[in-house]
């Protein structure tokens, strides 16, 4: 995976998703292409 030079902080998204991490519930992140959906999970 190519690491971007400019990393945009997405604190709002991380806060909303963090409560679902390591739970049995599946959350699907949807949106436009190449806007950082996967990067939020790192």
Residue 24 lies in a domain: yes
pLDDT for 9 equals 79
Q: What is the tens place of the pLDDT at every residue in 2-42?
A: 777 887 777 888 888 888 888 898 888 888 888 777 777 66
3 located within any domain: no
Q: What pLDDT does residue 36 have?
A: 75
Whether 2 is in a domain gets the answer no
In a domain, 4, yes or no: no
* Count: domains in the chain: 1
Residue 10, C-beta contacts closer than 8 angstroms, at least 6 positions apart:
36, 39, 40
What is the per-residue DSSP string for 1-42?
-PPPSS----HHHHHHHHTTTTSSS------STTSSHHHHT-
Range of the domain at 31: 11-40
Is 35 within a domain? Answer: yes
Q: Report if pTM > 0.75.
A: no
The reply to whether 26 falls in a domain is: yes
Q: Which pLDDT score, from 0 to 100, does residue 42 have?
A: 66
pLDDT score for 13 = 80
């Amino acid at each position: 995976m190519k690491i971007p030079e400019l990393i945009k902080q997405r604190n709002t998204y991380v806060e909303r998703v963090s409560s679902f991490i390591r739970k049995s519930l599946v959350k699907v992140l949807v949106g436009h292409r190449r806007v950082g959906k996967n990067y939020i999970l790192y």
